Amino acid sequence: MYDICVNTQLIVKPSLTLGARILCAVVQLTQQFGAEAVFSKKEISQKVEQMFPGSADQPGLSTHLSSHCVVNTSKNSGTEQRFMFRVGHGQLRLVRAADLQQNRGWEVSWPNFDSASQEERAMLEWAKALCGSAQPTPSNGTMVTLLDLAGSAKHLFVNESAAEYIATMNEAWN
């Protein structure tokens, strides 16, 4: 991170790309309101500004929220960060594996976190876990095995113990 002094005001230039800052904001909102929560572009913009002051004035924030960071929009060849899913007009959330199964042409790509802090990198890893490694990487290069899928849906059962799940299934069966 570096600082610039202009007219005796200190302006802090964030070290993260705009896409990475948006991802951090969406992760914090999702952690606060739950995995099923959907956010407006305005809510995301406000969170980006809160976390990274000065970002709301940066050109391109609206475009990133409308298309560049959204998997289910037309792809911009210059964009390498697509991690949100458009649920409705102006309504966004982090992408999930089920979203990607709707259309094989949609792909998740994560922003560059090379210059990120440890906390910011943890947010990226949390988002990837929520996404469930939506596109499993085959271990043998050609076919996805059951071992490749191990743990890919663990985020679905994070709030329910195995005993509770079995009891619920037994009640439904009887």
pLDDT value of position 11: 41
pTM of the model: 0.66
What string of DSSP letters covers 127-142? HHHHHT-SSPPPSSSS
pLDDT per residue as tens, the chain (174 positions): 334 434 333 344 457 888 899 999 999 999 999 888 899 999 999 999 999 998 888 888 888 888 888 888 876 656 668 889 898 888 999 988 888 777 767 788 888 888 888 888 888 888 888 887 444 444 444 455 566 556 655 555 566 777 887 887 788 777
pLDDT value of position 63: 86
What string of DSSP letters covers 21-90? HHHHHHHHHHHHH-TT--EEHHHHHHHHHHHSTTGGGSTTHHHIIIIITBTTSPPPTT---B-EEEEETT
| CA-only gyration radius of the chain, Å | 19
